[in-house]
Structure 1
């Protein structure tokens, strides 16, 4: 199984830190955010990785190379400056990801998600069945209204009892059929269309999950990560 780590964002709210460094290379607990993901995926047996990049992407390539030093294999998906949004970035990398379901992780979060369980859920996705499996989390202060509803392991586009989409999920490649691989595209419309057909499963993660979107959150997560070791 493969995974793609999304690392192409500009990180505007993190400026000036991201003026000279891509956000996934910012350190928490003495390690870059993206390295926490790589190590967690490797521990779950997911060692074939794709990483997309745009803003200062050469610094990601310089820092991680082919992944050998971290016990994984990295294929790089370069995007134009400005990037292609989440779905567009995945569509752009689709040749690298292949025809089997894959795991997706936002590169600018810090979490202790169970990637072994996520890979297992990914393996159950089918072109004629569920197209996505999403990990949801309790709503953080910066997203009090949430995104989607989780009911009986199904993710629904409803209003009552919404949870927050973590940016961690698994997808069947056919979810991205028809997308221009060189055009920006958002993920949410694809997910909502699949939800209307009852084709999105999900799970609730109650452990650590933090969207490292501002310098203040970076400092807070750094303190947590140092405690976690």
Structure 2
């Protein structure tokens, strides 16, 4: 019997400083690519894979994200919100935000950032089942390095393990797409539910797990953009390709 679909967390709490002035009045996940908010591309892709139970963390202008999904005429996904802005006055960074949302998530969950554009990615139950059957703490999708991150983030071994390589390594490094499958166990060093609102980045947790051989990865060859600046958003919207 196949496993039941798991939950997915979309990270949507950031201020989007590099996207100003566009994000002064609009949260970055609601900025539109090809006429559709970034977060909708994610929600629809997840739904195509059967994943309609979502967790969204919010801070900057988070009420707009809740209103956006609440006003949809078609059946919206089932969304639980982790309101970092209301609870702590601002975003808790990546690991802090995930730890805060853990009570809303299961032992295994999808994770992705609300500000990347990856229209062809397929979220599949088969990927979940493979990950759940193994002993890894995370499985990451890596992409070729964009111009703004030429040295990449992590290496990839022939055995499928993600590698914590130094920036000056002779081995190639790739960029983390922000898409991954995670186990709750990766965050066990932090208080469950992060009741104090500790701010913490994700990369150190991943690197420590990589050093112990507990993170796997694969390359994703399809279109991917970190929509981190107005120029990148304009480039996407001016391109002729449709999805």
TM interval, shorter chain, is: over 0.9
Q: Is the 8 A contact 1:38 1:70 kept in 2?
A: no
Count of paired positions: 226
Provide Cα deviations, 1:42-101, integer angstroms capped at 9, x if missing partner. Answer: 001111000000000011011112978354211111003330011111110111112x21
Distance 1:86 1:78 in 2: 14
TM-score in terms of structure 2 length:
0.87
Match of 1:42 in 2: 47
Match of 1:14 in 2: 19
Unaligned runs of 5+ residues in structure 1 are: none
Find out whether 1:85 has 2:106 as its counterpart.
Answer: no
Unaligned runs of 5+ residues in structure 2 are: 1-5
Q: Is the 8 A contact 1:22 1:55 kept in 2?
A: yes
Q: Is the 8 A contact 2:140 2:218 kept in 1?
A: yes
Q: Which protein is bigger by CA-based radius of gyration?
A: 2
Structure 2 residue corresponding to 1:144, chosen from 117, 134, 150: 150
Distance 2:123 2:198 in 1: 32
Q: Which sits farther off after the overlay, 1-10 or 177-186?
A: 177-186
Q: Is the 8 A contact 2:58 2:82 kept in 1?
A: yes
Match of 1:52 in 2: 57
Structure with the largest fraction of helix? 1
TM-score in terms of structure 1 length:
0.92
Moved >2 Å (runs of 4+): 65-71, 112-117, 119-128
**What is the RMSD of the two structures over their aligned residues, measured on CA atoms?**
1.9
Distance 1:215 1:148 in 2: 26
